[in-house]
Structure 1
Amino acid sequence: MRILHIDFETSSKAKIQDTGTYRYCSDPTTEVICVGWAFDDEPVQVSERLPNEIRRHIREGGLVYAHNAAMEEQVLYHIYGIEDVNMRCTSAVASYHALPASLEAVAEHLNLSVQKDKEGAKVLRKHFKTPPDEIPASDAQVIKAYCKQDVEVEREIHKQLGELPARELEIWKLDQAMNRRGIAVDTKLATIIIDKVETAKALLNDEITLATGGAVEKPTQAKRIITWLAEQGIETDNLQAGTVQALLEEIDDELVQQVLLCRQNGAGVATGKYKKALAMAGVDERVRGNLKYHGATTGRWAGSGLQIQNLPRGSVSDTDALADLFLAGKDVDEIAGDVFKAAKSAVRPMMRAGEGQKLIVVDYASIEARVLAWLAGEDKLVEEFRTGSDIYCSFASEVFGEVVTKADKKKRMVGKVGILGLGYGMGANKFQATLKDWADLDVSLDFAQKVVDRYRNAYSGIKNYWYELDCGAVNALLGESADDSDWYMEKGALCYTLRSGRTIRYQNARLIEGKYGQPAVKYQRPLGKNMVWADTYGGKICENVVQACARDIMADALVMLDAAGYTLVATVHDEVIIEHDAATADSHLLMVESIMRKNNSWSDGLPLGVEGFTSFRYKK
């Protein structure tokens, strides 16, 4: 069967950076300037019309390749009414190979004979909002040449990188289905919150302007506030949350306290998530395109669009009640403290189930700690996870030399941060800071070192696993890998085969002299459109492998849940979000949890724990 390579150039009054691909393509002002295409190795053609040959190829189930394929798929659907396209995406393949996702960056990294037309891109940018029939003929020809070259570049990337493995293709298709489906958002709630926050911000601006005699006009003007504080005899080099709180506790001056409170309440307060939701929401009030397949080199999903992987942690526990107060026009200060804290807490409940539906949300419990223990052969720790023992109390008991229970909250917290933080080679200085950051616990450096030592002694298999991974990587780069090693070299990339059979890659890997004179690994990783150099070591490689395995556990669960007929909406970190008929959602929660606890053949023996709930609105 022939392969079709395709690319569209479009214009619209909608701004794709604001709306995202799905809302952009559905916008009534979005039009096609031209389409470029080629079958197999045939010459690339460009036209203002979509040829019947392409329609026939799609109708017959032919393969269609594009870079960032969701764009082409959505153009075909919304502008030409063509559904069920058998799409493939070279951007997804590039991400799978730990390369940048952008066409230009991949082409440059692969040193292709044909590169993206940068001058043509400039001309196209001039006409992002110009109706096609109003684009000057000379510019239209440049845009067509640009489109033709994009198809040539995409085709060369496909030839160089090939296909996704069959299992990954299945997972990518699920990713695309979740992106097409999207998640419902409460646009009324978002609009109300934007209005209330903007009103409150205006009052704060007036208050701080009056208090400082015009020296500061907004709570976000940190440099001006620092200068004003210096004039009051108060020296500080930053206005981070902790610094402001400490100053409030130390200083009695009422005027200074007023300014600091303005800063505390107004700094960092943004309505960006709400405005983004409104910009991206379709006519059905669903936001689509929230996930990026293989967004991290470990294979984990990254956020896109509304960035649901990066939501603020609010201070309000009953977020459903908070949303109801906003919608009813009632005061939120009693439940949240002020409107700013309330807005921060209301981002999650802005996302909700569709009409007549309910969300089923299930999270893998301590998945990385479980995977680490299993991979490292720490059988005692694995068994504790399997039997449901309190691992945090168990390790805290090791640290303090006494039985620690859940009632000993501070001591248990030391155990928790230790289990969750020390598995990748963290040292005493970092552990001391992490205890402060995660749990607001102040401990001495000596005590932090004691906890680190206890961890490495108690779980020596994990420490040995760091060295095993480090030695395997170094030996592969030296060409001295054992026949049964999971490490190997391929086209300049250092590769590691996971238990699942998937490969993670360290591009352009090489050996350098490490901190203590030992051989160390240096490699390139994608960062936006660039490839940047990074160093790695046993503990960091261990983190990559563990997170990659945890991702494959999640991917397995998504495949099983989809096969069982559940409607997948998104995955957020170690969490699955499903939309289900409200009348039966509660009874299906246990079934979803049961499916997610199932091991695939490669993960046999790994004790999986899950925790879930149902809700009409999303929450933590």
Structure 2
Amino acid sequence: MDTIYFDTETSGLDPFKHRPTLFQIKRASDKTIRIFNPGKAKLGSSKKIKGIKELLESNLVVGHNLKFDLKFLKHHFNIEPSNIFDTYIAEILISGGQKARQKGAATLETVAQEYTGIQLKKDQNVRQSFNGQELNQEQIQYAAMDVAVLPEIHAKQRQQLKELGLEKVFATEMSCIPATVWLELSGTPIYLEGAKKLEQETKEKLESSRLTVLTILKEAGYRNLDLEGMPAVNLDSPAKLLKALKAIGLDLASTDESTLSTLKHPVGKALKEYRKHQKLLNTFLEKLPKHINPATGRIHANFNQYGTLAGRFSCSKPNLQQLPRDKNIRALFKGNNGSKIITADYSQIELRILAEVSKEPKFIELFNSGGDLHKLTASLVFNKPLDQVSKEERNIAKTINFGLSYGMGGGGLQSNLKDNGIEISSDDARKYIDTFFKSYPNVKRYLEEAGQSAVKYNEIRNIAGRLIKYRPATNESERAAILREGKNNPIQSLNADILKAAMGRLYHKLRPHSAKLINVVHDELVFEVPGEHAETVSRIVKEEMEAAGREYLKSLPVIAEVTVSDVWQK
């Protein structure tokens, strides 16, 4: 097997609208860089395309940001390399995730300069000049250099990955790239007529909630009224809204969500309702239809598989991971032509990871017996038998269980519970948290040690070996942030590793079943499949997701919950 250094030039960024205009190929065993115009393949050079397909699918392919290149290869020529080394992902991994959050820190220009000392000339005019015609010397030099720098970068990154013990994590990342290509090319179906109807309904709710806020202000004594006798207040201006609230006797520092959550005056709840409808309308319902690709009639979002410090996916244009868990919103994503939507998510995966890493016996015993962890926590916190735990007490315990692994304190517990209609005092919040940690001493010890280690060494690893680095704290606020992230990042990042391992498995397993991967949301995978394949695919998805989890969690079962429906459900 040879190593192939590879890059493409294209006529644009959209594989459905644009085309590859150049392939640059260099074998490790050959000093020559070969430049090939794939556009000519449609005019009788299909034999060459078949040769390139065999070359790329039977050797190790090294490139920078390979997801981009592989989308064009798959869509236009059905070329699917799976043995790959992406120098872009490698660079972010080596940086401990730091370069995931630094714009331009992992571009080919930056990486080439760091590893080879060569300054690539990324002239925008030259980049956009590849149109399938004869190349001039400047274009040849530009194209060739993108491949010429790869061997040295590849060699040095391989060494660093080995020295840092990141080879296994990197292999997981590489297995996930073809799956991410599959995800982006699949696109997400959307019921456009339903979206328009929901948009109109939300506009009506927004107007109603606006009038509710203004009525409360008026009844509370606000005197600056408009010609219709309603308060003349721009609710979308934080400064003007704050002034209005102070005018009715509410001495607030701001109008942000956390402040409104602690406000006992009815205007706080009304404003949150107003903002909920406003966000739904402005962020999602008005924007989603604008992202429909005319070539496919689907939304093809950008999924960045190393989008955060901890290695989780991020999503943009549009952000399909931040859609509200509202059944009306999710119902807009429905299968086409009788196909089914399969939604699969890991059950309480972060709590299971916390059980594994902390070795907390009560957690492990509970998960192995199939019991209810939230009910157990409630019984311990409220000191009552399991069968006497109320629904509200279980909800409080659920918030505690999930929140404490994120470093949540008493104020956060109060705020989160209030958002769910449960009010407790600050003393009760502190008492509940203290009781939780007394009940689960291994959890307490693990979280404290993880946080302190992150602060001391400015880095931490999860049990898969993924490295997470922090910038040294320069003040107490930054130190507190590292302490908090150090507790959660090993858990959150392992969640990402498990999900990526599952995606890599499913990319291969589901190929015979015409399945499309249409969304990824932290611990959840969403597929669209022909109706006749739904039962088989749902079984495979469950099996492979759970098998991926078992690679990392050895003390307790990993459960994937799978739903088959006409729409995206959970």
Q: Quote the residue 2:495 is aligned against.
A: 550
Which one has the bigger strand percentage? Answer: 1
Matches within 5 A, 1:115-154: 117=120, 120-121=123-124, 123=125, 132=131, 147-152=143-148
* Cα distance in 2 between the residues matched to 1:424 and 1:443: 20
Letter in 1 for 2:156: Q
Q: 2:3 touches 2:61 (CA, 8 Å); kept in 1?
A: yes
Q: Quote the residue 2:157 is aligned against.
A: 161
Q: 2:335 touches 2:528 (CA, 8 Å); kept in 1?
A: yes
* Cα distance in 2 between the residues matched to 1:177 and 1:119: 29
Offset of 1:155 from its aligned partner?
A: 5.0
1:551-608 deviations in Å (ceiling 9; x for gaps): 3433444455556546361432222323334246358656754554456354232133
Letter in 1 for 2:79: E
Q: Specify the SS of the correspondent of 2:318.
A: coil
* Cα distance in 2 between the residues matched to 1:428 and 1:247: 18
Question: Which of the residues 599, 603, 611 maps onto 2:553?
Answer: 603
Confirm or deny that 1:413 pairs with 2:418: no
Gaps of 5+ in 1: 17-23, 252-256, 320-344, 478-492, 523-533
Aligned length: 527
Q: Quote the residue 1:574 is aligned against.
A: 523
Question: Which of the residues 356, 380, 399 maps onto 1:398?
Answer: 380
CA, structure 1 residues 161+610, in 2 after alignment: closer, same or farther (shift >3 Å)? Answer: same
Which deviates the most, 391-400 or 170-179? 170-179
Q: Quote the residue 2:164 is aligned against.
A: none
Offset of 1:460 from its aligned partner?
A: 0.8
Gaps of 5+ in 2: 162-166, 215-224
* Cα distance in 1 between the residues matched to 2:291 and 2:332: 14
Confirm or deny that 1:312 pairs with 2:308: no
Confirm or deny that 1:461 pairs with 2:442: yes
* Cα distance in 1 between the residues matched to 2:141 and 2:262: 58
Q: 1:67 touches 1:103 (CA, 8 Å); kept in 2?
A: no
Which deviates the most, 371-380 or 150-159? 150-159
Q: Quote the residue 1:340 is aligned against.
A: none
Q: 1:124 touches 1:143 (CA, 8 Å); kept in 2?
A: yes
Q: Quote the residue 2:353 is aligned against.
A: 371
1:475-502 deviations in Å (ceiling 9; x for gaps): 9x5xxxxxxxxxxxxxxx956362xxx3
Q: 2:8 touches 2:23 (CA, 8 Å); kept in 1?
A: yes
Letter in 2 for 1:454: T
Confirm or deny that 1:291 pairs with 2:303: yes
CA, structure 1 residues 236+360, in 2 after alignment: closer, same or farther (shift >3 Å)? Answer: same
1:275-327 deviations in Å (ceiling 9; x for gaps): 3455343534333355332333433333244322211243xxxx4xxxxxxxx
1:12-33 deviations in Å (ceiling 9; x for gaps): 5xxx5xxxxxxx2211xx3567
Name the Cα RMSD after superposition: 5.0
Q: 1:2 touches 1:39 (CA, 8 Å); kept in 2?
A: yes
Confirm or deny that 1:70 pairs with 2:67: yes
Matches within 5 A, 1:217-236: 220-223=236-239
* Cα distance in 1 between the residues matched to 2:142 and 2:242: 50
Q: 1:289 touches 1:305 (CA, 8 Å); kept in 2?
A: yes
* Cα distance in 1 between the residues matched to 2:521 and 2:307: 12
CA, structure 1 residues 370+205, in 2 after alignment: closer, same or farther (shift >3 Å)? Answer: closer
The TM-score, its normalising length taken from structure 2, stands at 0.73
Offset of 1:195 from its aligned partner?
A: 7.0
Q: 1:204 touches 1:218 (CA, 8 Å); kept in 2?
A: no
CA, structure 1 residues 557+56, in 2 after alignment: closer, same or farther (shift >3 Å)? Answer: closer
Offset of 1:616 from its aligned partner?
A: 0.8
Q: Quote the residue 2:190 is aligned against.
A: 185
* Cα distance in 1 between the residues matched to 2:292 and 2:412: 40
Which deviates the most, 142-151 or 564-573? 142-151
Offset of 1:371 from its aligned partner?
A: 1.8
1:355-409 deviations in Å (ceiling 9; x for gaps): 2321222222221112212221112221122223232222222222223557623
Q: Specify the SS of the correspondent of 2:466.
A: strand
Q: Quote the residue 2:482 is aligned against.
A: 536
Q: Quote the residue 2:51 is aligned against.
A: 56
CA, structure 1 residues 245+601, in 2 after alignment: closer, same or farther (shift >3 Å)? Answer: closer
Offset of 1:220 from its aligned partner?
A: 3.7
Confirm or deny that 1:443 pairs with 2:443: no
Q: Quote the residue 2:93 is aligned against.
A: 96
Q: Quote the residue 1:334 is aligned against.
A: none
The TM-score, its normalising length taken from structure 1, stands at 0.68
Q: 1:216 touches 1:224 (CA, 8 Å); kept in 2?
A: no
CA, structure 1 residues 154+274, in 2 after alignment: closer, same or farther (shift >3 Å)? Answer: farther
Question: Percentage identity across aligned positions?
Answer: 21
